[in-house]
Every structure is written in structure tokens, then in C-alpha cells.
Amino acid sequence: MKIGVIADDFTGASDIANTLAKGVEPEGGLRTAQFTGIPTTPADEAIEAGVISLKSRTAPVDEAVANSLRALRWLADQGCGQFIFKYCSTFDSTMEGNIGPVAEALANELSAQKVVFCPAFPTTGRTVYQGHLFVHGKLLHESGMENHPLTPMTDANIRRWLQRQTEEAVGLVPIDAVKQGSEAIAAALKSADERFVIGDAISDEDLLTWGETLKDAKLITGGSGIALGLPRNFLRGASPNSAGSVFPGITGPEAILAGSCSGATREQIDVHASSHPTFSIDVSGVMSGDVTTQTLLEFFETHLGQAPLAYSSGNPEDVRAIQNQFGQEEVAEKLDNLFADTARELVLTGCKRLVVAGGETSGAVAKAVSAALGSPAMSVGPEIDPGVPVLSVGKTEPIALALKSGNFGAPNFFLKALRMMEAGT
Ligand SMILES: Nc1ncnc2c1ncn2[C@@H]1O[C@H](COP(=O)(O)OP(=O)(O)OP(=O)(O)O)[C@@H](O)[C@H]1O
Ligand SMILES: O=C(O)[C@@H](O)C(=O)CO
């Protein structure tokens, strides 16, 4: 393995696995596998990029650090020489962490002198300018992310935000240096007094320049965009890598589960609901035990073949009200368990295509599904929408899985995902 990625959630892992598998023309991408948690056995030797999906974004700091270090050590054992700590393109974290403490631990373990932080992902509207994060041109804290149920982002100045989470001083490589090219970035990095440095980037071209600059960096941190230019560092001069280009279609029973409360997911639910059966999960009912896995399974069974969708997603006021009544962690845990148990039962009873929306929700579901199928490795198939590939899990009778980050995907994402799973490449 050449590149090892430690991703702090499952949709983020899928996102960067997609980027590494796709690469850019003419070189193409790397043979990439996404793992559910930290594998206990060595990886297939043909894999060039390994992405470990953790559920560490909102875990207690100590747990996030310990698991990230374990992941790093496993990836190092597989031969990786370069490591990426992948977090959200909206820098999802709290005042305490987990981005700062995890990055510190990884940097210390690798004795990395300079560590770049670049969440930019321009294709999905995330850009970093003068250390400020924008989402589709709006400052992060005015983009809707200020209402996130678990990690409300209330400051677009990510240099200041990261500084709250770490003892290391945090600097900036501004866009002027990036636009001048790789040598100017390298010089700016060298002359920066700080060990941690926010990297500006407002276009894919900027990210490719960063990729070239970071050719020999041991540790890089960011969104999936920062990986855009990395495969070509390994593949330049070789024939185009077509390893990931064949993905057999998977047909059969389908289900859609949405736990994300983001604006994009709620719009996708509305679009889907206009012509497909949907089940709105009553969260108070889940808390009281009136709504159970069985309730959801009955809904899916009744609507098999019609692209049925069950969702808990609510608007910010409803989410706040329910969290005030029952507690944020209690609600999240109950919903995660509900989605995980439902997914496990669905897969064990023949579901072949499963679409999931939301990072935490996807983590709970993907863990349950790969445990049910006895397979931690998922292979990366075609891209449905930017940042979301089709995955296949299981060796003999694989199922297709899509793990959609809350804010990603076109309004018709759910149907598109089910269709692409059938079509393959
Ligand atoms: N109606 C609801 N009320 C309160 N909390 C909810 C409700 N529906 C879902 N949640 C919780 O909100 C959280 C949503 O997080 P999740 O990571 O799944 O989505 P997201 O944050 O939009 O996605 P991403 O992390 O990919 O951006 C989960 O913990 C989920 O349990
Ligand atoms: O970077 C992103 O926005 C996504 O990959 C993500 O991390 C979603 O949870």
C-alpha cells in the first residue's frame, strides 16, 4: 500500500476513497479499498490506497486519538509511506476537537515537521480563502452548518477554530502563494514558524498544486480535495491505471435510510417522497420504544421494489426540541441503533442495494452490514454524485452500498444511486 487514509467518518471515507480511485487524467487513480474500522488481518497486496473508516468525528477526544493511532499503525504495517487524516470539508468539530488532538497525535507519531490542513472541496462548493471556510460562497457559520445537530460550526475562521483545539501554533499559506505554484507554497511552508498550517485553495487547480507540493509529506490533513493530486505522484510515467474501472451491476431488493438533517438531504427526501413510498420516523416514538426496527422492516417489506425510504431527518427547530427533551447523545445513540439494526435485518433477509444518508448514520449502518456479511473491505465503484461512489461489500454475493454525506448529492440522489448500483460500469 502506498497511501493510507484515516477518515473520521464513513461517508468521508467513501468520499476520499472515490477521489483516490478516480484520480485525474491522464494518470487515473489508485487501486483503493475502504475498510470498516481497523482490519485485524493484512490487506490484499494489490491495494494501493487503503482508507480506514472510523467513527471518531464526535467520539470522546481520547478515544478518537487512540483509534486514529491504531489505524495509522495498521496502515504503516501495510507499507504506506504517506498518510492522510480525512475530516469533513466543513471542518466538523467542536471547541475541544477532534481535528486538533488527532492531528497532533498523528504528527508526533510520524515526527512530521509541518502539517497542512485543507478542507477545500470546490466541486461541492467548499473553498478556503485567507483561512476562512466558505460553503457555496457563504461563510461556514452562515451556511446552515451553524445548525448541525452534533458539531454546530459557528466560526468560519478555521485557523482560529483549530487553534482552540491544539497546543501547536496554527499558521496560514494564503492563496497568493498557492496561485504562484508549488515552489512558492513550499517556500511559504518552510518559512512559516507554525507547525500546523491552514492551506488556502479555491479551485481544483489549487488542489493539484498542493498535491504536487505535498509529494513527500508524511502527513496531510483535509477533505477529499487534498487527495486530488496525490495519485499522480505515484503514477506519473506509468500507463493509465484502469484497475477500478470495472464494477459489476448489482440488482435486487432495495432500501433507503436517512438520518442526516442537512438541508440537502431534506430536499432529496422531499423530491423522493413526491413519487415513492416514504416513512417519517417519529423520533419521540423511537425514544419511548413505540417505533422499533420491526416498524421499519414492515414498511420496507410492504413497499419492496418501489425504492422505499425511511428517514428521521428533521428541521433545526424539531431537532433542537427533541434534543432538549431527551438529550443529544441519547437521541443519536437510539437512532444509530435503530438504523443499524434495520440495515442488518434487511441485508440478512436479502436486501441487495442499500442507500444511506448521513455520516454518523452511515457509520452505524456500514458497521452492521459488514459485520453481517463478515467483510471489512469494501471496493469502490462508479461515482454517483461528487464525493459519493457505489461501494460493494461481501465477496461471494456482494451487496451495493452508498454512503452519502449529509450535504452531498443532487436532489434526485436516492433514485440515481439505486439505478447506478444496478448499472455498474
Ligand atoms: N429528527 C432528529 N432529531 C434529532 N436528532 C436527529 C434526528 N434525526 C437524526 N438525528 C441525529 O442527527 C445526526 C445526524 O448526523 P449524520 O452524521 O448522520 O448526518 P450529517 O451530519 O448530516 O451527515 P455528514 O456527517 O455526512 O455531514 C445523527 O446523530 C442522528 O442520530
Ligand atoms: O468532506 C466531506 O464533506 C464529506 O466527505 C464528509 O466528511 C461527510 O461526513
Domains and CATH numbers, the chain: 3-235 (3.40.50.10840), 254-423 (3.40.980.20)
Ligand 2 midpoint to CA 13 (Å) = 8
Q: Of 224, 218, 225, 217, give the one whose Cα is nearest residue 72.
A: 218
341-354: average pLDDT? 97
Ligand 2 midpoint to CA 11 (Å) = 6
Task: Kindly state the helix (H) or strand (E) to which residue 5 belongs, with its residue range.
Answer: strand 3-7
Percentage of the chain beyond pLDDT 90 is 91
**291 has pLDDT over 90:** yes
- All cell numbers assigned to 101: 488532538
Q: Of 233, 214, 209, 168, give the one whose Cα is nearest residue 30.
A: 233
| Confidence (pLDDT) at 245 | 55
Does the beta carbon of 224 sit less than 6 angstroms from any atom of ligand 2?
yes
| Confidence (pLDDT) at 424 | 83
- Please write the tens of the pLDDT for every residue from 32-68: 999 999 999 999 999 999 999 999 999 999 999 999 9
| Confidence (pLDDT) at 239 | 57
| Confidence (pLDDT) at 57 | 94
- Please write the tens of the pLDDT for every residue from 361-383: 999 999 999 999 998 899 999 99
**242 has pLDDT over 80:** no
Ligand 1 midpoint to CA 114 (Å) = 34
Does the beta carbon of 287 sit less than 6 angstroms from any atom of ligand 1?
no
Please, is 2 exposed, middle or buried when counting C-beta atoms within 10 Å of its C-beta (0-12, 13-18, 19+)?
buried
The residues that bridge with 36 in the sheet, in sequence order, are 53
Does the beta carbon of 150 sit less than 6 angstroms from any atom of ligand 1?
yes
313-321: average pLDDT? 93
Ligand 2 midpoint to CA 87 (Å) = 7
**290 has pLDDT over 90:** yes
Decide: helix, strand or coil at residue 75. helix
Which ligand is nearest the CA of 121, by number? 2
- Please write the tens of the pLDDT for every residue from 92-124: 999 999 999 999 999 999 999 999 999 999 999
Q: Name the residue of 145, 286, 331 to mutate for ligand 1: max ligand atoms within 8 A of Cβ.
A: 331
| Confidence (pLDDT) at 340 | 98
Q: Do 23 and 229 meet the contact criterion of CB atoms below 8 Å apart?
A: no
Query: What confidence category does residue 238 fall into, taking pLDDT thresholds of 50, 70 and 90?
Result: low
Mean pLDDT score of the chain: 95
Ligand 1: nearest atom to the Cα of 11: 26
Percentage of the chain beyond pLDDT 70 is 98
| Confidence (pLDDT) at 376 | 87
| Confidence (pLDDT) at 372 | 94
Residue 122: DSSP 8-state: G
Query: What confidence category does residue 248 fall into, taking pLDDT thresholds of 50, 70 and 90?
Result: confident
Query: What confidence category does residue 311 fall into, taking pLDDT thresholds of 50, 70 and 90?
Result: very high
Q: Going by CA atoms, what residue is nearest to atom 4 of ligand 1?
A: 319
- SS (HEC) of 340-359: HHHHHHHHHCCCCEEEEECH
Minimum mean pLDDT range among 17-31, 168-182, 290-304: 17-31
288-300: average pLDDT? 98
Ligand 1 midpoint to CA 262 (Å) = 8
